[in-house]
Amino acid sequence: MRNELKANPIQRGFSLVSAIFLLVVLAGLGAMMVTFSTAQHQGMAMDVLGSRAYQAANAGVEWAAYNIETNPGVPGAVNLVPGTGTALGGNLAPFAVAVSYTAASATEGTDVVWAYDITSTASGLNGAVPGSADYVERVINVKMRE
Protein backbone atom coordinates (compact mmCIF):
# COMPACT_ATOMS: atom_id res chain seq x y z
CA MET A 1 0.00 0.00 0.00
CA ARG A 2 1.22 3.33 -0.85
CA ASN A 3 1.20 6.07 1.65
CA GLU A 4 0.13 9.19 -0.07
CA LEU A 5 -0.14 12.49 1.59
CA LYS A 6 -3.28 14.22 0.67
CA ALA A 7 -3.33 17.99 0.82
CA ASN A 8 -5.96 19.71 2.82
CA PRO A 9 -8.45 21.33 0.41
CA ILE A 10 -7.97 24.68 2.18
CA GLN A 11 -4.20 24.65 1.47
CA ARG A 12 -4.44 23.92 -2.24
CA GLY A 13 -3.04 26.76 -4.38
CA PHE A 14 -1.46 28.54 -1.42
CA SER A 15 2.05 28.39 -2.91
CA LEU A 16 0.75 29.85 -6.18
CA VAL A 17 -0.64 32.89 -4.36
CA SER A 18 2.67 33.36 -2.53
CA ALA A 19 4.64 33.10 -5.77
CA ILE A 20 2.44 35.66 -7.54
CA PHE A 21 2.73 38.02 -4.56
CA LEU A 22 6.54 37.75 -4.59
CA LEU A 23 6.67 38.34 -8.35
CA VAL A 24 4.53 41.47 -8.05
CA VAL A 25 6.66 42.83 -5.18
CA LEU A 26 9.93 42.12 -7.03
CA ALA A 27 8.61 43.68 -10.25
CA GLY A 28 7.60 46.81 -8.30
CA LEU A 29 11.05 47.04 -6.70
CA GLY A 30 12.69 46.64 -10.11
CA ALA A 31 10.55 49.40 -11.59
CA MET A 32 11.45 51.73 -8.71
CA MET A 33 15.16 50.99 -9.19
CA VAL A 34 14.91 51.84 -12.90
CA THR A 35 13.12 55.10 -12.07
CA PHE A 36 15.74 56.10 -9.49
CA SER A 37 18.57 55.18 -11.85
CA THR A 38 17.07 57.26 -14.66
CA ALA A 39 16.62 60.27 -12.38
CA GLN A 40 20.22 59.92 -11.16
CA HIS A 41 21.56 59.84 -14.72
CA GLN A 42 19.50 62.88 -15.71
CA GLY A 43 20.76 64.76 -12.66
CA MET A 44 24.37 63.95 -13.51
CA ALA A 45 23.85 65.07 -17.11
CA MET A 46 22.42 68.40 -15.92
CA ASP A 47 25.43 68.85 -13.61
CA VAL A 48 27.75 68.42 -16.59
CA LEU A 49 25.70 70.89 -18.65
CA GLY A 50 25.78 73.38 -15.77
CA SER A 51 29.57 73.11 -15.58
CA ARG A 52 29.86 73.65 -19.32
CA ALA A 53 27.57 76.70 -19.12
CA TYR A 54 29.72 78.10 -16.31
CA GLN A 55 32.85 77.66 -18.43
CA ALA A 56 31.12 79.36 -21.38
CA ALA A 57 30.20 82.33 -19.14
CA ASN A 58 33.78 82.39 -17.86
CA ALA A 59 35.02 82.55 -21.47
CA GLY A 60 32.82 85.61 -21.91
CA VAL A 61 34.46 87.26 -18.90
CA GLU A 62 37.87 86.52 -20.38
CA TRP A 63 36.77 88.08 -23.67
CA ALA A 64 35.74 91.24 -21.79
CA ALA A 65 39.05 91.32 -19.88
CA TYR A 66 40.97 91.07 -23.16
CA ASN A 67 38.92 93.89 -24.71
CA ILE A 68 39.41 96.05 -21.63
CA GLU A 69 43.15 95.48 -21.81
CA THR A 70 43.34 96.37 -25.51
CA ASN A 71 40.88 99.28 -25.41
CA PRO A 72 40.67 100.69 -21.86
CA GLY A 73 37.92 103.05 -20.76
CA VAL A 74 35.44 101.99 -23.43
CA PRO A 75 32.31 99.98 -22.56
CA GLY A 76 31.53 96.99 -24.73
CA ALA A 77 29.19 94.13 -25.45
CA VAL A 78 29.13 90.99 -27.57
CA ASN A 79 26.77 88.09 -28.22
CA LEU A 80 28.52 84.80 -28.90
CA VAL A 81 25.82 82.87 -30.76
CA PRO A 82 26.06 79.20 -31.82
CA GLY A 83 26.28 78.66 -35.56
CA THR A 84 27.88 82.03 -36.27
CA GLY A 85 31.44 83.23 -36.66
CA THR A 86 31.38 84.56 -33.09
CA ALA A 87 30.48 81.24 -31.45
CA LEU A 88 32.64 79.52 -28.89
CA GLY A 89 34.35 76.32 -29.95
CA GLY A 90 34.56 72.75 -28.71
CA ASN A 91 32.17 71.61 -25.98
CA LEU A 92 31.08 75.21 -25.36
CA ALA A 93 29.83 75.76 -28.93
CA PRO A 94 26.13 74.98 -28.17
CA PHE A 95 25.86 77.82 -25.63
CA ALA A 96 24.83 81.38 -26.41
CA VAL A 97 26.87 83.85 -24.37
CA ALA A 98 25.90 87.49 -23.85
CA VAL A 99 28.69 89.67 -22.46
CA SER A 100 28.49 93.33 -21.54
CA TYR A 101 30.60 95.67 -19.45
CA THR A 102 30.49 99.25 -18.36
CA ALA A 103 33.41 101.53 -17.57
CA ALA A 104 33.62 104.20 -14.88
CA SER A 105 36.61 106.37 -14.09
CA ALA A 106 37.81 107.75 -10.80
CA THR A 107 40.76 109.93 -9.89
CA GLU A 108 43.14 108.69 -7.24
CA GLY A 109 45.72 111.37 -6.58
CA THR A 110 47.11 112.18 -9.99
CA ASP A 111 46.08 108.90 -11.62
CA VAL A 112 42.86 108.10 -13.45
CA VAL A 113 41.64 104.63 -12.51
CA TRP A 114 39.04 102.71 -14.51
CA ALA A 115 36.57 100.33 -12.91
CA TYR A 116 34.56 97.85 -14.95
CA ASP A 117 31.39 95.92 -14.18
CA ILE A 118 31.31 92.80 -16.37
CA THR A 119 28.26 90.56 -16.79
CA SER A 120 28.51 87.33 -18.76
CA THR A 121 25.46 85.10 -19.26
CA ALA A 122 25.73 81.67 -20.89
CA SER A 123 22.38 80.13 -21.67
CA GLY A 124 20.57 77.47 -23.57
CA LEU A 125 21.85 74.36 -25.16
CA ASN A 126 21.22 74.03 -28.88
CA GLY A 127 18.39 76.55 -28.69
CA ALA A 128 16.77 75.22 -25.50
CA VAL A 129 14.40 77.72 -23.91
CA PRO A 130 13.76 78.39 -20.20
CA GLY A 131 11.48 75.77 -18.75
CA SER A 132 12.59 72.97 -21.06
CA ALA A 133 14.24 69.90 -19.60
CA ASP A 134 17.73 70.57 -20.98
CA TYR A 135 17.92 74.34 -20.42
CA VAL A 136 20.84 75.64 -18.37
CA GLU A 137 21.94 79.18 -17.60
CA ARG A 138 24.88 80.57 -15.68
CA VAL A 139 25.57 84.24 -14.96
CA ILE A 140 28.92 85.60 -13.82
CA ASN A 141 29.30 89.17 -12.57
CA VAL A 142 32.85 90.48 -12.19
CA LYS A 143 34.16 93.82 -11.02
CA MET A 144 37.55 94.71 -12.42
CA ARG A 145 39.87 97.61 -11.83
CA GLU A 146 42.63 98.79 -14.08
Domain limits, the chain: 14-145
- 3-state SS, one letter per residue, for 71-136: CCCCCEEEEECCCCCCCCCHHHCCCEEEEEEEEEEEEECCEEEEEEEEEEEEECCCCCCCCCCCCC
Residue pLDDT, tens place only, 16-70: 888 899 999 999 999 999 999 888 888 888 888 889 999 999 999 998 898 888 8
* pTM to 2 decimal places: 0.72
Residue pLDDT, tens place only, 80-119: 877 676 778 888 888 889 999 998 888 888 888 889 999 9
